[in-house]
Structure 1
Amino acid sequence: MAVHKLVLDDAFDEVLYTLIAIHCTLEDYRLAYLLNKNLGIALARKESDLDYNEGNVSHSIYDWEDEKQLITWSLVSNICKTETIQKIDYKSLFDTQEKITKTYYLLPEYKTVNYFLKIESEFSFSKEKHILNDVLKIPQIVTAYSIDSSQLKSKENLIFS
């Protein structure tokens, strides 16, 4: 009896994407508006944020699917700050509660980055450079640069679906 072997090397290729780190002090909706205006895209806020840590941490996300060019654009915040109230056992007449602010990061290895722009598609390097130059033309953005996704330790956090 003949033995048949199926080779599925090409069937499960990793989805290729470009990741751009953005440093700015803008609110997420304002940055999405400026990116839409300067890049000619239509980012819109998703109905639900990215939830991590059993719903205690949420990162805002905007996305747009360009059906003509088969490109998915996603803008996601890297920083999430949560406030919790902790009771303190002081033996005094005054306040026994203390607010504690904890900061969580989507990609902990890039703690200084405010937002990530993820573009899912195969681009030539010139196209990626063109997009990066258009992002850098926005005066409110301090700096932006491409990140090599193969070097990321927490790349599973970039799966948005």
Structure 2
Amino acid sequence: MNQSKVSTFVFAVASLAGILCVSKTDGQVYGFPPSSPQHRSFPIPSSDSQPISITLGPDGNFWFTEQNRSQVARITPQGVITEFLTPTFSFPIGITAGPDGNIWFSEGAAGSGGQIAFITPDGHIEEICSQALPPQRRVLSLGRTATSGSPSLSRTRFGGSNCLAGT
């Protein structure tokens, strides 16, 4: 892989199967197996989708956000990509696996104040915390930190402020 493509990676996640990366600029998901110097690329079906974050789900699939298309996508270990449109055009950004078996993501549409949403393993999306912030503030990232199994801390960045919540 050439250096210019490496520099386009926005986010990567590692698993026992290797490393998976999303590339914001060329609309690809790249897989790097642990025992091979070769990589595989998987083109994202929607053009100009700008994938921006990726996480490993409890279902064994990888999930990522497509900021420009307002979609969340699932990629199986075999490389099959399925896209799910969010109910509102809301620019999904951060994504993380939740302790409830769902995939949680942040939506950062300018002017809407941002939202938190989740998608079930079968693709049902529910948006919550609608209009949780004033219009000039956005939900920029969402993550989960495990602390020795239980409990866990969820962290969300609202504009320039960070918020931690225990579960």
Q: TM-score, normalised by structure 1?
A: 0.24
Higher relative contact order (Cα pairs below 8 Å, separated by 6+ residues): 1
| Larger-gyration structure (1/2) | 1
Q: TM-score, normalised by structure 2?
A: 0.24
Q: Which has the higher strand share?
A: 2
